Structure 1
Amino acid sequence: MSMASTSTPGSSSELTISVEHNPSKSRLSELGINSWPKWGCPPGKFMLKFDAQETCYLLRGEVKVYPKGSSEFVQFAAGDLVTIPKGISCTWDVSIAVDKHYKFESSSTAPSSE
């Protein structure tokens, strides 16, 4: 299994996107991926700010994420388990439509059903 990550230079705290390529079925089962909500988007560029840490597993698609203020990018695709830190602002450049399971860490700023 290989890992890739990037950090946002010049930020007060290093915000790192981590990518776990092809996690094992037992790891996915342990996380309960199949019970997480699903989200998808068409190809395009999307500016996003994460108010809570998100963990997602891509079922299909391909994305390059450019953290705000950086020319570096993190790339991930179908079969990757990705952790995006709270507080990061970034641009998602989606080249192949995305379909993913996702989960936000519990936080007062995370979406809730209350």
Structure 2
Amino acid sequence: MAYVGTFSPNHSLLFSGTKHSLQYPASTRRGVVVVVRAESMTTEKLGIKIEKNPPEEKLTQLGVRKWPKWGCPPSNFPWTYEAKETCYLLEGKVKVTPSGSDESVEIGAGDLVVFPKGMSCTWDVSVGVDKHYNFE
């Protein structure tokens, strides 16, 4: 994900509703477009690891684009992971609720997700999924 910024009259950079000051001389500010890449962020909840916006270098290193693909339309179904799965969602939006939990984890397009071996859960797919996946 990238954000494009513009300079305000007081020579600060404005993007996503946030003001960021830059230290460039006024002569270099005119006509400049600044692009800021959102950093990757990894979290773990209920045993599910989610990395949002992983860098392309990481996806290449893992060989994600060579993994098989799987997809499904909006639906709700139980699933048990007989092996650890790492997947990268190209499209979709899903709420995953581990068995025995009242909480769920939301995943979506652009997420690199790791599900642990042995996890039983329910997938609630609100937007059709297209993903690359790899079982270990």
Q: TM-score range by the shorter chain?
A: 0.7 to 0.9
SS in 2 for 1:40: strand
Q: Give yes or no for the alignment of 1:6 onto 2:37.
A: no
Kindly state the Cα deviation for residue 101 of structure 1 after the two structures are TM-superposed: 0.1
RMSD, aligned CA: 0.7
In the alignment, what sits opposite 1:91?
122
CA displacement at 1:3 relative to structure 2: 2.1
TM-score, normalising length from structure 2? 0.70
The reply on whether 1:64 has 2:98 as its aligned counterpart is no
Gaps of 5+ in 2: 1-39
Aligned equivalent of 1:53: 84
* Rg larger for: 2
Of structures 1 and 2, the one with the larger relative CO (CA 8 A, separation 6+) is: 1
Aligned residues: 97
The Cα shift of 1:2 comes to 1.8
Show structure 1 runs of 4+ deviating over 4 A: none
TM-score (norm 1): 0.83
Indicate the SS of the match to 2:60: helix
